[in-house]
């Protein structure tokens, strides 16, 4: 067994697979380890991704695109439905994927590019030398092996442990962990090309219910609520069961999916001597939407680009890798994360009356002028009470974040 690689990637999700693929394509030796026995399962995802964002990395393929989405609907707590057509819905227009197939495809591509893959293999602890991360001890089939690596990419997901073992504080505050449950439901009456988002504090406190179609009569029906709203008897699954019994009583659940999505700010630092942190492990899932597929693909590929350059230059210090950190923070993704964090901080405090007022007023907007700034202006003008609630500081924060 080979025990020395240029790059060791921990985690076989989209971030890890993309990092492994891109580094292997540049001729570097790569080992990707995945703790689960199979890539892509169990799914822990609503599986939605923006079309244009995905196209930056992959040509869509029928084998893993479950459904094409051409509009979104937002349902206010009072039942009012707002339609977001393609020209306004932005990145909400996209695909619902079949992650079981999609994740396998990505890892297959990494393997095809030359990366070694080990499943049911977990990183147990980092190897270090003079404070630099130089690899990891991995465990497979009861056997521990030390793998030395020029650089380690920690892409071990929302349940990330590796960075923590390296001394990074990765703890997510309870209120910033969305606790999620989802059914893959079939035999339901839906528009197969429309995603629907239900808001309201009695439906999904500090979160939303989603219906993401995966076929003619099949969809991911899920919910995320803020961790601090979760209690015995009113957990994500309890809210979901209530929603389903009221709205989709005849539907059949053919899969139960659980999971967590961090809605905190990204880690303060995502590079260390010998290590880059990518994807959910870096806390780059979107704080407002919870979306993380594109962000994982992007940070994974960037980790490979910066990591391989550092390897070629013979310098994998945090300083040499810092271009990874600065690049993603100033990228459209990084800017969107900060903006959406600010919006999320306001969203989680809204009452049902606020939500009703906002969704009604946005729906009355002249859609030819639809952009985020106009959206916020419109909301504030139409809802002076909300503007007062946010206060000067809140409004300034919001305007600063979008301008």
Partner 1 sequence: MITVRRDICAYCGCCISVCPQGALELIDAYLFVDTEECTDCGICVRVCPLGALEVTP
Task: Provide the binding-site residues for partner 1, judged by CB under 8 A.
Answer: 35-37, 42, 44, 120, 122, 157-161, 164, 170-174, 177, 179-181, 227-228, 230-232, 235-237, 256-260, 262
Closest distance to partner 1 from the beta carbon of 268 (Å): 15
User: Closer CB to partner 1, residue 44 or residue 88?
Assistant: 44
Whole-angstrom Cα distance, residue 106 to residue 294? 13
Residues 17 and 109: beta-carbon distance below 8 Å: yes
Closest distance to partner 1 from the beta carbon of 224 (Å): 9
User: Closer CB to partner 1, residue 262 or residue 361?
Assistant: 262
Residues 184 and 235: beta-carbon distance below 8 Å: no
Q: Which two tokens stand for residue 169?
A: 């504080």
User: Closer CB to partner 1, residue 161 or residue 214?
Assistant: 161
Cα 144 to Cα 38, 136, 225, 258, 318: the distances in Å are 20, 10, 39, 30, 28
Closest distance to partner 1 from the beta carbon of 44 (Å): 6
Whole-angstrom Cα distance, residue 334 to residue 352? 30
Residue 337's CB is within 10 A of a number of other CB atoms, namely 21
User: Closer CB to partner 1, residue 181 or residue 321?
Assistant: 181
Q: Which two tokens stand for residue 279?
A: 């994807």
Up-side HSE of residue 341: CA atoms within 13 Å toward CB?
18
Closest distance to partner 1 from the beta carbon of 5 (Å): 22
Closest distance to partner 1 from the beta carbon of 181 (Å): 5
User: Closer CB to partner 1, residue 72 or residue 278?
Assistant: 278
Residue 205 three-state SS? coil
Nearest residue to 106 via CA among 176, 34, 48, 171: 34
Closest distance to partner 1 from the beta carbon of 167 (Å): 11
User: Closer CB to partner 1, residue 35 or residue 339?
Assistant: 35
């Amino acid at each position: 067994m080979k025990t020395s690689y240029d790059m060791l990637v921990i985690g076989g999700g989209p971030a890890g697979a993309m990092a492994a693929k891109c580094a292997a394509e540049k001729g570097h030796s790569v080992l990707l380890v995945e703790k689960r026995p199979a890539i892509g399962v169990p799914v822990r995802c609503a599986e939605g991704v923006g079309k244009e964002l995905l196209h930056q990395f992959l040509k869509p393929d029928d084998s893993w695109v479950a459904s094409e989405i051409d509009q979104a609907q937002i349902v206010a707590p009072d039942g009012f439905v707002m339609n977001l057509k393609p020209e306004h819905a932005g990145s909400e227009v996209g695909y619902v994927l079949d992650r079981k197939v999609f994740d396998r495809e990505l890892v297959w591509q990494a393997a095809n590019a030359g990366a070694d893959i080990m499943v049911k293999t977990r990183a147990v602890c980092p190897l270090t030398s003079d404070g630099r991360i130089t690899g990891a001890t991995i465990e497979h089939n009861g056997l521990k092996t030390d793998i030395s690596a020029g650089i380690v990419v920690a892409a071990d997901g929302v349940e990330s442990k590796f960075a923590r073992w390296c001394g990074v504080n990765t703890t997510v505050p309870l209120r910033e962990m969305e606790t999620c449950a989802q059914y893959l439901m079939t035999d339901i009456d839906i528009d197969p090309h429309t995603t629907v988002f239900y808001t309201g504090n009695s439906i999904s406190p500090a979160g939303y219910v989603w219906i993401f179609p995966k076929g003619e009569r099949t969809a991911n029906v899920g919910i995320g609520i803020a961790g601090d709203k979760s209690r015995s008897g009113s957990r994500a699954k309890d809210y979901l069961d209530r929603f389903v019994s009221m709205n989709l009583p005849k539907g059949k659940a053919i899969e139960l999916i659980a999971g967590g999505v961090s809605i905190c700010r990204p880690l303060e630092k995502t590079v260390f001597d010998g290590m880059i942190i990518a994807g959910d492990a870096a806390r780059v899932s979107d704080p407002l939407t919870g979306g993380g597929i594109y962000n994982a693909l992007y940070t994974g590929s960037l980790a490979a680009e910066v990591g391989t350059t550092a390897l070629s230059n013979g310098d994998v210090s945090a300083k040499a890798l810092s271009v990874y950190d600065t690049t993603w923070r100033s990228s459209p993704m990084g800017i969107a994360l900060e903006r959406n964090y600010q919006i999320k901080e306001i969203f989680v405090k809204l009452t049902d009356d606020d939500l009703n007022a906002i969704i009604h007023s946005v729906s009355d907007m002249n859609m030819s002028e639809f952009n985020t700034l106009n959206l916020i202006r419109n909301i504030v003008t139409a809802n002076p009470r909300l503007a007062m609630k946010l206060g000067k500081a809140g409004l300034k924060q919001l305007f600063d974040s979008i301008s």
